[in-house]
Structure 1
């Protein structure tokens, strides 16, 4: 029996590029995009005549880009820069991602790529392949994850230095209060949202409802669920780029920073996940609001690996500013039904729609890695039939927890991640080692900076 292809090892054919240019003869600026472990899109801009060759045989990129930090700095401590000779690897196109980028002009397009070794082996530091491995292990159990991503973000004005909420282009109004679910706030930014929906339609991104969130200038839009977790993560990566690009065209910035303002709500990435069985039916579907036993086991695994996964769910120094009581950002390993104060929520809905919403991730998390870590935890719970305990009823911020304690700062999260034997199994030993090194070096560089607050607090008083 032939072994099925690795989930993330599906490579676009050259015919896809030929067909695209036949339908889009004006395109002559094409961005080739790779998203590394820090979640920042990087790549090259190609001319039209270069693109088909990439679809035929790939493109060389230095392997060191796999481990650059969030600032784009080489992480020499990984041993993948000088010791490796900064050697090239191959990137190859992801099917279905060659699309126009209307915010970049009339002649622009892009496509996503994955990294491979020169012998064709999927590179185990590429977040797409990390996710693909987890999907393959679920497939071995006859399960297909169905994933939807919700992302919160702020629209901000940085013309004066420190960010402030942006003015709505339709009215010129700059909001200064919360106005959650406010329709006037949506009207203020209608030109932006019109262009955003048009750009997402042009890229085939399944963008749905939009709301004004729990802070001035904060919004959330939903990407429709898909029975293809890898493509759902691709969509989220592409969507973040669209939001930023369209915002820039309107004269302001879109930020997915977890906590841009001290006294305002943070921005999260909520992951809605169910599992289809081999017949295509929702394996979590149940008349019981708590779902099936399989769903309970999945939640048990999500609770069990939550602390060890925090370095992925909260990947940056700023990420940890988001977590505090009564903030809609969970602070404990809790679950419940129709309850937004817990980390793992089973939303209200019909029996057929039963699923779990993972509410821990910041909007700054890498979508590939966030989905991979959550699916790995669900796989762990299902495989080991882990009981999640009783659901929380009422205020989850006041609930008495169990023995699971979440890291409350960056250093503790990186250490817990690095020491996790389970995550090394599910995500890959070399990946966990290198992610911990990159984030550890990034943290050391961040902590070495002397800030204005240092001078305010310590210059005269120390």
Structure 2
């Protein structure tokens, strides 16, 4: 493969030093997250690692034209139009780490795709987020980002036609059956799993904070510490999901980030906290004149988030299942509203020190691609600031009662809004907009053409 090596690619010396430090490592997984956030990749031998840093790894561009099942979507324009050609993928700095949950010593490294001339490939979600981050850098600003991810630990064994079950506690030998938010006994039940997750995060440089039990049996949340590089923050989220799934498998169970795995229990969310530092390191959302409520730029940022929320819902809720999560009184926003320290709103300004003023975006499900959700959120914030968008009045009390639901009710409606959005085209790119819509619209049609067991149960003999 002949291609220009981007200047941002880490030196092959990194690979050499890693192999010398870890002679036990036999294989390395090279990872390339797709549009759905599914981590695609290859498993290479240690003798191929230095070559990957020198020459890149070849993947077809159509990897970004695949749906969540792995099928290529012809209408994406990344398959036959390009001759299903290979493109160079290059290691991401700082992402070469050990993998502690496998039976055989192994490692992993993240990749990002480039054009043959070395420029970033427009449909790579990591590149989409990089472009938005660059617009902040052009102003001398740095977004500070922290992500929170919810997930369930579930039984590894499941009949295909039956719903999942919460995992059996290794301590008690039984399933949790009650909701004990922030419960310590629930953490004790899965202490071995969560400890191994924490140890793996430390080994891989993922800045994970303590886990907490959430609002359903077997549900947990892990918060990531804030960093002033949004692309790195999304990298951490992708790596965290891989850690949680890998460690769970090693303990004989599975982990799911599906938005709504149980109909009668709370869903899994992806919450993103954002503040912005100026060139002098000052938080632009903070205000000396009004430390309790923040600066006018905070309200413009919220205004941008409110204006663009529905255009971006296809990124925040990118699956059929995601729309089962969006319902009243489930801590999932139903309208583009905001408030101070109010978890019933889409955009919450948490209680904090005056310098720590930030926005918590509470819309996305845990099935969202962290790069794409982050790109949409940061684009909306900067769009709101640059256009001096007006925020609606903040909501006090229960937003589910005071605010009329306004989010798209269906996947089809979200995709239509996304496809027609001038905001998406301008900020995330027309090429990306076309590819993402094609992939997800194809996925939606395939999903909706499937006849379900419930339809047979209700209609086969009755109508």
Q: Do the aligned residues in 2 keep the contact of 1:173 with 1:188 (CA within 8 Å)?
A: no
Structure 2 Cα separation of the partners of residues 11 and 390 of structure 1? 46
Match of 1:35 in 2: 33
Q: Do the aligned residues in 1 keep the contact of 2:337 with 2:392 (CA within 8 Å)?
A: no
The secondary structure found in structure 2 opposite 1:152 is: strand
Q: Could you tell me how far 1:26 is from its partner in structure 2?
A: 1.2
Q: Do the aligned residues in 2 keep the contact of 1:64 with 1:81 (CA within 8 Å)?
A: yes
Map 1:32-111 → 2, pairs under 5 A = 32-111=30-109
Moved over 4 A (4+): none
Match of 2:364 in 1: 361
Match of 1:332 in 2: 335
Q: Could you tell me how far 1:290 is from its partner in structure 2?
A: 2.3
Match of 1:277 in 2: 278
Match of 1:312 in 2: 315
Structure 1 Cα separation of the partners of residues 86 and 126 of structure 2? 18
Q: Could you tell me how far 1:408 is from its partner in structure 2?
A: 1.0
1:449 and 2:450 correspond? yes
Match of 2:401 in 1: 398
The secondary structure found in structure 2 opposite 1:397 is: helix
- Give unpaired runs (5+ residues) of structure 2: 1-5
Structure 2 Cα separation of the partners of residues 400 and 78 of structure 1? 37
Q: Could you tell me how far 1:406 is from its partner in structure 2?
A: 1.6
Match of 2:376 in 1: 373
What whole-Å deviation, never above 9, does each CA across 1:92-150 have from its counterpart, x for those lacking one? 00000000011113520000000011111110000011000000111122211000000
Structure 2 Cα separation of the partners of residues 64 and 142 of structure 1? 35
Q: CA RMSD in A?
A: 1.2
Structure 2 Cα separation of the partners of residues 145 and 386 of structure 1? 19
Match of 2:228 in 1: 227
1:140 and 2:141 correspond? no
Structure 2 Cα separation of the partners of residues 115 and 140 of structure 1? 23
The secondary structure found in structure 2 opposite 1:440 is: helix
The secondary structure found in structure 1 opposite 2:396 is: coil
Q: Do the aligned residues in 2 keep the contact of 1:172 with 1:188 (CA within 8 Å)?
A: no
What whole-Å deviation, never above 9, does each CA across 1:224-259 have from its counterpart, x for those lacking one? 000011000000000000000000111111000000
Stretch moving more, 19-28 or 121-130: 19-28
The secondary structure found in structure 2 opposite 1:11 is: coil
Q: Could you tell me how far 1:9 is from its partner in structure 2?
A: 7.3
- Give unpaired runs (5+ residues) of structure 1: 1-7
Structure 2 Cα separation of the partners of residues 121 and 130 of structure 1? 13
Q: TM-score by structure 2 length?
A: 0.96
Q: Do the aligned residues in 1 keep the contact of 2:77 with 2:435 (CA within 8 Å)?
A: no
Q: Could you tell me how far 1:173 is from its partner in structure 2?
A: 3.0
The secondary structure found in structure 1 opposite 2:147 is: strand
Q: TM-score by structure 1 length?
A: 0.96
Q: Do the aligned residues in 1 keep the contact of 2:156 with 2:252 (CA within 8 Å)?
A: no
Q: Do the aligned residues in 2 keep the contact of 1:169 with 1:192 (CA within 8 Å)?
A: no
Structure 2 Cα separation of the partners of residues 289 and 390 of structure 1? 15
Q: Do the aligned residues in 2 keep the contact of 1:9 with 1:122 (CA within 8 Å)?
A: no
Q: Could you tell me how far 1:160 is from its partner in structure 2?
A: 3.4
